[in-house]
Amino acid sequence: MTHGSNAMPLSVLTDDERSFQSAVAEFAQGEVAPRVAAMERAAKLDPELIPKYFEMGLMGIQVPEEHGGAGGSVMMVALAVEGISRVDASAAIMVDVQNTLVAYPLLTAASAEQKARYLPAICESKVGAYALSEAASGSDAFGLQTTAKPQGRDWVLQGRKLWITNAAEAEVFVVFANADPGKGYKGITAFIVERDFPGFSVGRKEDKLGIRSSSTCELILDGVVVPGDNVLGPVGQGYKIAIETLNEGRIGIGAQMIGVAQGALDAAVGYVNERHQFGRAVADNQAVQFQLAQVATELQAARLMVYDAARLKDAGHDVAQAGAMAKLYASQVCERVTSLCVELFGGYGYTKDYPVEKFYRDAKIGAIYEGTSNMQLQTIAKGLLR
């Protein structure tokens, strides 16, 4: 892959994709890596980094050029998220959410007028966020309690959202609310909400185990008046938009996990080659070699699953099952890889002087957000037994 990497080269990438991958790796090393330690201490992304994402064209990878985007693919989104995650998962998740959870529903469900208004903005300068989860509706996402009531041509949103990634920085939000609770999940509707709409505010920022510099906040919707023109897709079809969006989003989380695992593995391979015990390099011990070989093999399999899901999505196929499998397996592999890497560093691995403890903490979120591992298993099982 990139020069000096311990990752296996892949024949599945085109020359353009390899060039893009190299550009992302250079960006991650040059712009993200020098900021990681300070961002981790501050539990906040460096605000000077965010404009660089836009300049690099990373915030609208799939968006057609006519709307200000790069005209790329889901595969390119996966490569970008993977490449940045090898340096910092927190920095990568902003790019991931922007592309898979914000740009995607706008591309697939927005009206022509909404596309003209919002797609150039999220490609050029505005961070977006996706607001589905609530305090009482996590895995049971369609049990959400936020309501949307008509008021003339407008809608009034009332409720609270929780665990919203990018919330501290975002200016545009895709928000889900129930316009007809009597219909259950078939009343759920999607809305495009701007940060400065009256009644809208960002609440408490979570103090997290991992991905600490990525903002995860509560949203407070206190009688937010949303223009009728900002309904995203048909009223009552929000649940379909949410499902289709998360199916793509899981490919992005899989990419994040393989990036984190590769970053940890790169660090561990370098360390065991340099560290000497009992008169020889730690890497000279066959037990260490075999453990590294095992996790490298699993990581390569996870990478191929993520890439395959991305290819299927780009080809127009349903990726509910492939995306769930990729996210499930990549998150499992990431936990195993990062755990081993901490152990290979010995006591040093448990300190903040070396990078593997951060990779280890960042790994855990992969089994939780955008659908827990149990929810992925349920999706996979449904596909098998249908």
The CATH number of the domain holding residue 142 is 2.40.110.10
Residues 307 and 328 in one domain: yes
**What pLDDT, on the 0 to 100 scale, is given for residue 4?**
45
Mean pLDDT of 341-345: 98
Q: Are 276 and 231 in contact (CB under 8 A)?
A: no
pLDDT band at 8 (very low <50, low <70, confident <90, very high): low
Residue-level pLDDT at 253: 98
CATH label of the domain that carries residue 359? 1.20.140.10
Q: How confident is the model at residue 306 (pLDDT cuts 50, 70, 90)?
A: very high
d(CA 312, CA 307): 9
Do 174 and 58 sit in the same domain of this protein? no
Residues 6 or more apart whose Cβ sits within 8 Å of residue 96:
77, 81, 249, 252, 253, 255, 256
Asked if residue 62 lies in contact with residue 107, where contact means CB atoms within 8 angstroms, the answer is: yes
CB neighbourhood size of 195 (10 A):
17
Q: Indicate if the pLDDT at residue 137 is higher than 70.
A: yes
Q: How far apart are the first and last CA of the chain?
A: 38
Least Cα distance to 269 among 26, 34, 21, 7 occurs for: 7
154 with 253, same domain: the answer is no
Per residue in 45-76, pLDDT (tens digit) is: 999 999 999 999 999 999 999 999 999 999 99
User: Residue 307 domain-assigned?
Assistant: yes
Taking a C-beta distance cutoff of 8 angstroms, is the pair 42, 90 a contact?
no
| 2 domain-assigned | no
Q: Using a pLDDT cut of 70, give the percent of the chain over it.
A: 97
Residue 7 lies in a domain: no
Of 84, 109, 126, the domain-final residue: 126
pLDDT of residue 123: 98
Do 60 and 173 lie in one domain? The reply is no
pLDDT at 1: 39
Q: What percent of the chain is modeled with pLDDT above 90?
A: 97
- Is the four-CA dihedral 216, 221, 222, 227 of positive or negative sign? positive
Number of domains in the chain: 3
Please determine, for residue 133, whether its predicted confidence score (pLDDT) is greater than 80: yes
Largest CA distance in the chain: 80
- The Cα 176–Cα 226 span in angstroms is 12
Average pLDDT on 5-17 reads: 78
Q: What value does the mean pLDDT take over residues 331-358?
A: 97
State whether 39 and 116 are in the same domain.
yes
- Mean pLDDT value of segment 126-134: 98
10: in domain:
no
Pair (210, 343) in one structural domain: no
Give the pLDDT score at 49. 98
Q: Do 227 and 244 have their domain in common?
A: no
Domain stop point among 216, 237, 258: 237
Asked if the model's pLDDT at residue 251 lies above 60, the reply is yes
Determine, yes or no, domain membership for 4. no
Bridge partner residues of 192 (DSSP) = 174
Q: Is the pLDDT of residue 199 over 50?
A: yes
Same-domain pairing of 265 and 357: yes
> Within this chain, do residues 322 and 209 fall inside the same structural domain, yes or no?
no
Query: Domain containing 78 — which CATH number?
Result: 1.10.540.10
Is it the case that residue 34 has pLDDT exceeding 50?
Answer: yes
Co-location of 48 and 21 in the same domain = yes
**Judgement on whether residues 39 and 136 belong to the same structural domain of the protein:** no
Instruction: For strands 128-131 and 172-178, give the pairing.
Output: parallel
Residue finishing a domain among 193, 210, 237: 237
Active site residue 169: no
DSSP structure string for 313-330: HHTT---HHHHHHHHHHH
Evaluated on CA atoms 222, 226, 230, 234, the torsion sign reads positive
Residue 3 lies in a domain: no
Mean pLDDT of the chain: 96
Domain of 305?
240-385
Judge if 226 and 262 occupy the same domain: no
Residue of 17, 25, 26 lying closest to 82 (CA atoms): 25
294 located within any domain: yes
Assign 101 to helix, strand or coil: helix
Asked if residue 8 is part of any domain, the answer here is no
The one catalytic residue among 31, 248, 335, 370: 370
Residue 13 token pair: 């990438």
